[in-house]
Amino acid sequence: MNMRFSGDDLSSRTLSIIDDLKHLEGPLLPILHAVQDAFGYVPDEVKPIIAQALNLSRAEVHGVVSFYHDYRHQPAGRHVLKLCLAEACQSMGGNELADSAKRLLGIDMHATTADGSVTLEPVYCLGLCACAPAAMLDGEVHGRVDANRLAGLLAEVRR
Ligand code: FES
């Protein structure tokens, strides 16, 4: 998802998300998830809106967004590649696979290729530990991924 939203759009959609979810116990994380689902990332502009609605400081909201790997600070590319860096995958070459992906794409983790095609993100267990190392490309999980297979998957979506 790589859409741009106007300030008004960001505010009104964020306010309606807050309205829907503020009754939950511990509403901050679900609200941030819903905001990311709506915009593809958590824009800086919405943090004060959320802070005010939940009676938190902006620093608290910012701290939570920074702490969790799941939240993006920038819009994602057209495709999102998540590579598992949790223990089972690490022991089966997950770090080396991540290095191959970085070289292949010419970017680091949490970054997007210059052409906007792929965002690379770490993930910590995809529930596919028995088929490590695991990856997820645009929501689809793949097990026993090696550098060649990864290059093939990426070539397919970047065509
Ligand atoms: S540790 Fe990678 S899928 Fe579980």
Domain boundaries of the chain, sorted by first residue: 7-67, 79-157
131 lines ligand 1 (CB under 6 A): no
Rounded-to-integer distance, Cα 63 and Cα 75, Å = 19
CA distance 110 to 158: 18
Q: Cα of 128 to ligand 1 centre, how many Å? A: 5
Regarding the beta carbon of 141 and ligand 1, being less than 6 Å apart is answered: no
Omega prior to 30 cis, within 30 of 0 = no
Q: CATH fold of 79-157, please?
A: Glutaredoxin (3.40.30)
Strand residue runs (E) in the chain:
79-84, 111-112, 118-123, 135-137, 140-142
| pLDDT tens across the length of the chain (159 residues) | 445 677 788 999 999 999 999 999 999 999 999 999 999 899 999 999 999 999 999 999 999 999 988 899 888 999 999 999 999 999 999 999 999 999 999 999 999 999 999 999 999 999 999 999 999 999 999 999 999 999 999 999 988
Q: Which residue among 123, 126, 141, 142 has the greatest number of ligand 1 atoms within 8 angstroms of its CB, and so is best to mutate?
A: 126
Decide whether any atom of ligand 1 lies within 6 Å of the 89 Cβ.
yes
Report d(CA 69, CA 128) in Å as an integer.
19
* Cβ(132) – ligand 1 distance below 6 Å: yes
